[in-house]
Amino acid sequence: MQPLFRSRRDRLDRLRRQREEAVEAASKRESIPQSGTQTCPNCNTECTNAQLVQTDYVCPNCGYHLPIGAYLRLSLLLDPFTFRELWAGLTAPNALDFPGYESKLVAQREKTALSDAAVVAVGKLDGRQAVFVVLDSRFFMGSMGVAVGEKVTRGVEYAKKHRLPLVIFSASGGARMQEGILSLMQMAKTSAAIEQFSRSGGLYISVFTHPTTGGVTASFASLGDITLAEPGALIGFAGPRVIQQTIGQELPEGFQRAEYLEEHGFVDQIVPRSQMRETLSQLLSLHRKGVFHR
Amino acid sequence: MNNLTAAQRVKLARTPGRPGTLDFVNALFTDIFVCKGDRLGREDPSIFGAIARFHGKPVTVLGHRKGRTFEENMKCNFGMPSPEGYRKAQRLMKQAEKFGRPIITFVDTPGAYPGLEAEAGGQGEAIASSLALMSALTVPVISVVIGEGGSGGALALAVGNRVLMLENAVYSVLSPEGFASILWKDASRADEAAGIMKLTARDLYQLGVVDQVIPEPEGGAHTDAKAVFEAVNQALTRHLNQLNKEKDLAAHRYQKFRAMGAVREEVEP
Ligand SMILES: [Zn+2]
């Protein structure tokens, strides 16, 4: 028995080390370098990258929340060494034979080191286990094709099966055009999964981050028990340019921003990045007993 | 009709004289009682709703309405629903479930309305909650794409146990014009876009998105509407009979949409 235990323990240790290294490598790849500067897209202030690391990539001058990658997002939320990624290498084929799509996918994968635009993970936040799905806008603008739809759906089904709370961070330009109608069908697939999860008594916290539009807004992202948004995030079904073309007039200041959605009753609270972990911890704690009472 | 290009079918699907939801409803159903309003403050005429009889049995009918005359077009917003239209549809679907009525939907919309008030009213939320609700209904749901199936605004009425499609109807994630302007920044290349989008009934049947293609007469549905009504009548009857034998219709629908899109499990990167 002893050798068997030892080999199992060694294998677990090895797997854990591999995972930790993977996260570290991924967050290194996606994080902005420590030296140098970049300009805030909102107020044009020049910020040093050292500063931005300190503020979780929020502009120190105006509070603009710069988009961040999925692994960095998870590293800001999860307890150390509790991260376990699920279905990391899942991809979808070019089912519609869309010209040039494969080579674009390869380029996106090389640029981001992601297999597609969603990361699913199980981990602990303040000691509470939950399933996290994070969309990454660096990969094809976070658009939802079959791979994203499948990862979201599997994440939801996993949470239902293991009776865990579910947290989804959305950031998406909408449907993946190159996967056409199959992208559209992911809206039905993911929404159906959320509905089953909800009926089983599971807690789903949906967090809108900048920008979330189209098919993601019109499916799982809008179906949370609790809906949060990062300050200033653009959230909508139709994109601002399409709306402007349709109505033929200028859009009002702040239209489709998180604050606008809060005013119109579609967001419970706007939560700055610096308070996100604390807020999620509070919500998970408030639902500790209530989850899966059915 | 086999040799038409995708772009030609897009034009047929949008032909003004093509039979719309109201034409199908009047031809196929009896004892029609029109239901209006979302009970939250508005009636959106771009989604038609009614209780009616299909071969004697009560059903709930829903469908996008574009209108015939210019006045009707304006009233129906050219078939582009607002959130209130989807909330009315949800109300009527819940009601159908309560009374055990099958639901038949007719899909014919360029898309949900991309307007200021529609966004303020939660177009995304309205579509999302329609998808969620529809996916779990315990009564049979059959959707027929009769003209344009435009994006999420179409899907919000098309989460059916069966999705049928007329031969020259089209169904896509975005209009060919929108597709061309996003991909090539040039909306005038819409015909070219239509050619690669896989939006025809046959393409969608091959992809497993559509369960049956209903043939149209030479020249399109508007050249012999009666024949099309009869073909749809037969298809609806057949599928309804099949679904009546299905034990768990919600599970059946879940599995149907769960299977949309194949994936690969790769280890890298
Ligand atoms: Zn700034």
pLDDT tens column, B25-51: 999 999 999 999 999 999 999 999 999
**Residue B185 class from Cβ within 10 Å (0-12 exposed, 13-18 middle, 19+ buried)?**
exposed
Chain B, window 205-264: residues with a beta carbon less than 8 angstroms from a chain A beta carbon: 207, 209, 253-254, 257-258, 260-264
**With 80 as the cut, is the pLDDT of residue A289 above it?**
no
Q: Looking at the partner chain, which of B171, B179, B262 has a beta carbon nearest the beta carbon of A95?
A: B262
Cβ separation of B265 and A266 shorter than 8 Å?
no
Predicted confidence at residue A49, as pLDDT, reads 85
pLDDT digits (tens, 9 = 90+) for B66-82: 999 999 999 999 999 99
Cβ separation of A218 and B253 shorter than 8 Å?
no
Cβ separation of B262 and A237 shorter than 8 Å?
no
What mean pLDDT do residues A9-37 have? 63
What mean pLDDT do residues A147-175 have? 97
**With 70 as the cut, is the pLDDT of residue B158 above it?**
yes
Q: Kindly list the residues from chain A whose CB atom is less than 8 angstroms away from the CB atom of residue B178.
A: 242
pLDDT digits (tens, 9 = 90+) for A237-269: 999 988 998 888 899 999 999 999 999 999 999
Q: How far is the CA of A111 from the centre of ligand 1 (A)?
A: 26
Q: How far is the CA of A39 from the centre of ligand 1 (A)?
A: 8
Considering only residues B156 and B3, tell me which one the structure prediction assigns the higher pLDDT: B156
For chain B, the structural domain boundaries read: 6-256
**Residue A3 counted as domain residue:** no
Interface confidence: ipTM more than 0.90: yes
d(CA A45, CA A58) in angstroms, rounded, equals 12
Min Cα separation A185/chain B (Å) = 6
Q: How far is the CA of B48 from the centre of ligand 1 (A)?
A: 48
Residue A100: CATH number of its domain? 3.90.226.10
Cβ separation of B128 and A220 shorter than 8 Å?
yes
Q: Angle A146-161/A180-199 helices, nearest 10 degrees?
A: 10
Residue A31 — pLDDT band, cuts 50, 70, 90?
low
Q: What percent of chain B has pLDDT over 90?
A: 93
**Residue B56 class from Cβ within 10 Å (0-12 exposed, 13-18 middle, 19+ buried)?**
exposed
Q: Kindly list the residues from chain B whose CB atom is less than 8 angstroms away from the CB atom of residue A109.
A: 269
Q: How far is the CA of A4 from the centre of ligand 1 (A)?
A: 57
Contact by Cβ (8 Å): A246, A261: no
d(CA B210, CA A48) in angstroms, rounded, equals 53
Which residue does chain A place closest to B252, by CA atoms?
A192
Centre a 10 Å sphere on the Cβ of residue A233 and count the other Cβ atoms it contains. Answer: 24
d(CA B224, CA A205) in angstroms, rounded, equals 52
Q: How far is the CA of A65 from the centre of ligand 1 (A)?
A: 8
**Tokens 């769960």 -> residue:** B258
d(CA A50, CA A213) in angstroms, rounded, equals 31
**With 50 as the cut, is the pLDDT of residue B269 above it?**
no
Residue A168 — pLDDT band, cuts 50, 70, 90?
very high
- What integer best gives the mean pLDDT of chain A? 90
Q: Looking at the partner chain, which of B118, B125, B173 has a beta carbon nearest the beta carbon of A180?
A: B173
pLDDT digits (tens, 9 = 90+) for B69-121: 999 999 999 999 999 999 999 999 999 999 999 999 999 999 999 999 999 99
**Domain membership of residue A258 as a residue range:** 67-286
Cβ–Cβ contact B269 with A under 8 A: yes
**Residue A159 counted as domain residue:** yes
HSE-CB at A35 with a 13 A cutoff on CA atoms is 0
**Residue A227 counted as domain residue:** yes
Cβ–Cβ contact B137 with A under 8 A: no
**With 60 as the cut, is the pLDDT of residue A22 above it?**
no
Predicted confidence at residue A18, as pLDDT, reads 59
What mean pLDDT do residues A81-109 have? 94
Predicted confidence at residue A184, as pLDDT, reads 98
**Chain B interface, mutation test: which of A237, A246, A249, A256, most B Cβ atoms within 10 Å?**
A237
> Total domain count for chain A?
1
DSSP tag of B209: S
Residue B265 — pLDDT band, cuts 50, 70, 90?
confident
Taking domain B6-256, whether its CATH number is 3.90.226.10 is answered by: yes
Predicted confidence at residue B58, as pLDDT, reads 98
